[in-house]
A and B are shown apart, each in its own frame.
Chain A
Amino acid sequence: MRRRHLTPRCTRWPASVLLAAALSLAGVGCSGSSSSGSSSSGSGGGTTPTTPSTPVNNTQFIQVGAGPTGTDVNQLLTSVSICVPGTNTCQTISNVLVDTGSTGLRLLASQVTLALPQLNDSNSHPIGNCVAFADNSYAWGPVQTADIEMAGERASSVSVQLIGATGFPAVPADCNTGGTNNDTVQALGANGILGVGVLRQDCGSACATSGSQLPPIYFSCANNTCSVTAVSLQQQLQNPVAVFPQDNNGLLISLPALAAQGATSISGSMLFGIGTQTDNALTGVQVYATDSKGNFTVTFNGQAYSGSLVDSGSNGIFFLDAATLGIPTCPGTLSFYCPASAVNYSAISTGTNGNSGTIAFGIVSAQSLFATGNTAFNDLGGPNPGAFDIGLPFFYGRPVYVAIEGQTTTAGSGPYWAY
């Protein structure tokens, strides 16, 4: 009923990108763009053959439920294993939030029993990481190094944030947003956050160059005082999928469709790689490229919202405001919409590559949804006047692809969303 009309359309990419795509894979892309299936044979001298990798299990179990607090809704969770780098000394952390709106693995230190190596700067001072979220909450903790395992894939020696580690210096003033410190399961609503968005690092080049004014994201801590510091791209928190030896160009999230009143809980799959195995082909979807901040444009009633994103870590579709839409927010809480009866909306998403497509979704009174006792809803929404935050409700019943910044796929390089 709420299915978007899919209008598969060929994306035009520069010849170099098409060549790279053709070399890496048999063509799933537009007809005529890469018809030769033998381009990766590597026979003859001069070209470097692409080594065909043995397929590994790329399917990670994900589920939506009430989360570890028992009170959350539309909380997409998975289990992540972390290991002491290069060893089989590992620990599995359950109830980690799958978040396409951030980058990097962040775990509550209270949940981690492994002793992981601390990332230090050149003066042997420990590095800390700060992240803020749209709800004005934040998380702070040391950066440590771990191997990250999901399904049959392993990302080696990746920086992870250990939120609220005891013995680490207190939250620096530049990190404190004034809002909630997400240093407990109760505050975070999860044991950690798995940031698998379109950006490769949490901060990127803005944090990598010393000498300039750096965003307060990475800190060097000496004598219990932490000050903003530069950290190389490689040592920043990474989308762990980009670090896998294969299936590393992105991922797709697949959740079943839901009835209007939702479901008590629901499970699905996160598949690693895009067009790298038989189960993750990029078919029947449109590619929407994002800018270097991970944003694209959503247009509603002729008004363009340029800072929009697809965000599995948000539990509703957050857009516009009650006055503009002519529907009320819920009594007693301004967070969600509570229309008297179900309302259907349609908006147009436009990538920085110029591709456009319709997004159709419904909004049902959050109060009536919560009264069902269910935890998975495809029609939960609330206000966000400045942008579309296309949260988890959008993911039910359609595959959503996340192509990582700088990684090559059959439809060109990331960063892009496809659905």
Chain B
Amino acid sequence: MRAVAATLLLFWVTLPAWATLGQSRDSVQSDQALLKGRLSTAEAQGYTIHQITRDDGGVLKEFVSPDGQVFGITWQGPTMPNLAQLLGSHFAEFQKAAKSAHRRGPLTVHVGQLVVETSGHLRSFHVRAYLINLLPNDISPEAVR
């Protein structure tokens, strides 16, 4: 009994903290709890936007395709979110591509199907990420804003 509870707990805490690019929308609820923000949902033509709004001004938008996959994410807020959590299995790819001699400044990574942009400064950060191959039909990357 105890072992089961412990296992469940372990399972629960190892779930992705935030909705992860390229995965299902199921984690949106846990994101809301972790970000301690208000969740709202908006239907757009051909996709859904789940938005988590924090009182400190942080706004996470998760763009979900009709088949339930997170194809894009945007963040704006006073601090930088945890990209390892947001990008999930794509984070290593992002980090490898982002690692560049000499660069000091914002990042723009376009590697394979993955596009990630990070910019800004304390009080005003922006992140935009999407997977080209997961964009629903007729949806342009411009939708991920």
Contacts and interface: CB of A to CB of B under 8 A. Distances in A.
A383 B110 CA distance: 11
A72 B54 CA distance: 37
Interface in B56-114: 56-58, 77-85, 87, 91, 95, 97-98, 100-111
Contacts of A199: 123
A136 B79 CA distance: 10
Contacts of B105: 134-135, 311, 313-316, 318, 382, 384, 389, 391
Interface residues of B, number: 43
A233 interface: no
Given A71-B101, A307-B124, A382-B103, A177 B108 contact: no
B103 A135 contact: yes
A217 B102 CA distance: 27
Residue among A74, A130, A335 with most chain B CB within 10 A = A335
B43 interface: no
A71 B36 CA distance: 41
A132 B106 contact: no
B120 interface: yes
Interface in A284-308: 293-295, 307
Contact of B77 (A178, A215, A315): A215
B45 to A, nearest CB: 23
Interface string A150-183: 0000000000000000000000010011110000
Contacts of A138: 80
A204 B123 contact: yes
Contacts of B84: 176-179
A213 B104 contact: no
Nearest to B123: A293
Contacts of A78: none
A134 B107 contact: yes
Contacts of B107: 134-136, 335
A215 B105 CA distance: 22
The size class of the interface chain A forms with chain B is 35 or more
A73 to B, nearest CB: 5
B104 A385 contact: no
A293 B57 CA distance: 12
A94 B136 CA distance: 52
Interface string B23-47: 0000000000000100000000000
B82 A387 contact: no
A215 B79 contact: yes
A71 B122 contact: no
Contacts of A130: 79
A213 B120 contact: no
A334 B100 CA distance: 8
Interface string A367-402: 000100000000000111111010100000000000
B108 A334 contact: yes
Contact of A102 (B78, B101, B106, B121): B121
A177 B100 contact: no
Interface string A331-370: 0011110000000000000000000000000000010001
A278 interface: no
A309 interface: yes
Contacts of B87: 178
A135 B118 contact: yes
B104 A179 contact: no
A314 B128 CA distance: 20
B102 A203 contact: no
A392 B85 CA distance: 32
B132 to A, nearest CB: 13
Contacts of B82: 173, 176-178
A335 B102 contact: yes
Contacts of B58: 215
B7 interface: no
Contacts of A173: 82
A101 interface: yes
A208 B96 CA distance: 37
29 contacts: A72-B104, A102-B121, A132-B122, A134-B105, A134-B119, A136-B83, A136-B107, A177-B84, A178-B85, A179-B80, A179-B84, A179-B95, A203-B123, A204-B123, A213-B36, A213-B54, A213-B56, A217-B79, A293-B124, A294-B123, A314-B104, A316-B105, A333-B103, A334-B97, A334-B111, A382-B108, A384-B106, A384-B117, A386-B128
